[in-house]
Amino acid sequence: MYNLLENLEKLKLHFKVVKRDVSKIIRINHNLYRNDYLKVLSKLLSITVPSSEFSISELLQTRYTICKALTGLDKLSIILTFSSLKLLELALVLLDKDVEDVYITLNGLYIVKKGDLYKVVDVNHEELIKQLVKLANLSGYRLGPDNPSIKFSLNVGSLRTRVSIDRWPVTDGYSVHIRKHKRIFTMTDLIGNGMLSLDQASLIIAQVLSRSNLIIIGEPGSGKTTLLNAIDLTIPYSWRRIYIDETDESISIPKTLQVKIRSTDKLIEVLKTLHRGWGILIIGELREKNHFEAYNHSVLSGLQVLGTSHADSPENLAERFRLFNLNIHGLEKLVIVRTARYEVVRKVIDVKYSRSVSEDLMLKIKNILKKLLRSNMHPLKFSERFQKELIKMGVPV
C-alpha cells in the first residue's frame, strides 16, 4: 500500500502520449487508481459534508483535510477529493506540472502542455461538464440564457484553478476553460525571469504609489493577473484593499486590511464600497458592462482603481468601453500596461501614462528593487521587506 501511495504522489505514469498522423493524443492511465482502498476512501469522501451550512470551498477543504490526515499526501488527497466529485480525470491532468490550460468542449477534453495542444481520449467529457456546472451552481453562479458566462475558483490543497464556463447563446452547447494558477511571483521574480525590466517595474510601482489608476491589458495567458498580484505585494500595508473578483485570484496578505467581494455584479458592490471608507479598489477583470461601469463610477468617486482587461492595445481597450456606450474616465491619471505572450514567455511590451511621477520616488523604488533582486524570498516575506525599505527611504506609506 505504501508503495502505491508513493507512486501516486509522484504522479508516475499518468499519461501515455499517442501520435496519430499530425494529431497529438493523450491517454490517461487509470490502472493506478483501480484499488479497493482508494475506492472506499473516495466513496467515504463523497458523502462527507461540513456539519453546518457550507460553501463549495468549505466542502472541498473538508474533504481534502480528511484525506490529507489519513494519507499525509497532498497530491493524492487532491486526486481523491476530485474523485469524490466525479472529476478524477480532471485532477490527473491538472496535477501535471507542465499542463497550463484545460479545455472541455462538445468535441472532448483538451490540454495545453508545454505550449502544445493535446486531446485526451477515453474520458467522459460530458460528465465532467455536468459536474462542473453543478459545482458552479453550488458556488452561487446560475448559468442560463440570461447569464451565459460565469467564472469561479476551484481550489483544493496546493492546486488553485480558475474555471470559466460558457453556454448558449455565447457558444454551441457548453464550453469550459480551466486555467491553473501559477505560484505567486514578486516584482523581483518578474524582473529576474524577463517579464519586465527594472525601469518598467520602478515606473509601475511609482505610479501606483502616486495614486494613479492602472489597467493591465493583453491576450489571455499573457501574465496580467500575475503582474497585478506582484503589484499588490508592493502596495503599502496602511492602504485598505477592496477586491472584486469572482475567482478570488488575489493574495491574502497578513497585516493588511483586505475586503474580498466575490460578486458577479461588480457595479452594485462598488457603489456599496463608496460608503465604507477610503481605499484602493482592485477589479480582477473588466469584462462585462457592469465591470466597466464599476471602473468609471469608482474613478469619479475618487477611488484609486487597479484592474486587468483583455485587449491588445489602448485603442482596443477604449473600444471595449465604447461597445457599452461608455468613455474611459480619469484619463489624466490612467496608466495602461500592455502584456503579451510569445509561446511560453510573457512580457510587458510597454507602459503608457499621461502624468509623470517624481524622479526621486522612481529612483528610491529602483534602489529597493535592486537591493531585493537576488533575495529569492517568499512573496509575503518580500512584501514585508519591501514595506520596511519604503519606510527606511522616507517614502510616505
Residue 171 shares a structural domain with residue 296: no
Residue 211 shares a structural domain with residue 228: yes
Residue 217 shares a structural domain with residue 275: yes
Please indicate whether residue 138 or residue 155 has the higher confidence score (pLDDT).
155
Please indicate whether residue 20 or residue 146 has the higher confidence score (pLDDT).
146
Give the separation between CA 226 and CA 185, rounded to whole angstroms.
Answer: 7
Residue 227 has pLDDT above 50, yes or no: yes
Residue 232 shares a structural domain with residue 323: yes
Instruction: Name the least confident of 117-121, 145-149, 207-211, 319-323.
Output: 145-149
Cell of 192: 529576474
Tell me the pLDDT of the chain averaged across its residues.
84
- At residue 203 the predicted structure's pLDDT band, cuts being 50, 70 and 90, is very high
Phi-psi region of 294 (alpha: psi -120 to 50; beta: other; left: phi over 0): alpha
Give the separation between CA 164 and CA 2, rounded to whole angstroms.
Answer: 37
Give the separation between CA 350 and CA 361, rounded to whole angstroms.
Answer: 20
The enclosing domain of 214 has a CATH number of: 3.40.50.300
Residue 101 shares a structural domain with residue 247: no
Mean of pLDDT values over 32-40: 64
Residue 110 shares a structural domain with residue 251: no
Domain boundary among 123, 156, 180: 180
pLDDT at residue number 314: 94
Residue 50 shares a structural domain with residue 149: yes
pLDDT at residue number 259: 80
Residue 335, in any domain of the structure: yes
Please indicate whether residue 151 or residue 139 has the higher confidence score (pLDDT).
151
Domain boundary among 150, 180, 210: 180
Mean of pLDDT values over 103-107: 92
For 163-182, the pLDDT digits (tens) are: 999 988 888 889 999 988 87
Mean of pLDDT values over 273-283: 73
Residue 7 has pLDDT above 60, yes or no: no
- At residue 76 the predicted structure's pLDDT band, cuts being 50, 70 and 90, is confident
Residue 307 has pLDDT above 50, yes or no: yes
- At residue 221 the predicted structure's pLDDT band, cuts being 50, 70 and 90, is confident
Domain boundary among 155, 180, 205: 180
Contact assessment for residue 248 and residue 260, using Cβ atoms and an 8 Å cutoff: yes
pLDDT at residue number 1: 43
Give the separation between CA 163 and CA 384, rounded to whole angstroms.
Answer: 31
Residue 390 has pLDDT above 80, yes or no: yes
Residue 266 shares a structural domain with residue 248: yes
Residue 243 has pLDDT above 90, yes or no: no
Total domain count, the chain: 2
Supply the range of the domain harboring residue 336. 187-392
Residue 114 shares a structural domain with residue 14: yes
The enclosing domain of 52 has a CATH number of: 3.30.450.90
Instruction: Name the least confident of 117-121, 205-209, 225-229.
Output: 117-121
Residue 397, in any domain of the structure: no
Residue 88 shares a structural domain with residue 151: yes
Could you tell me which residues come within 8 angstroms of residue 89 by beta carbon, excluding any fewer than 6 positions away?
28, 109, 120, 123, 124, 128
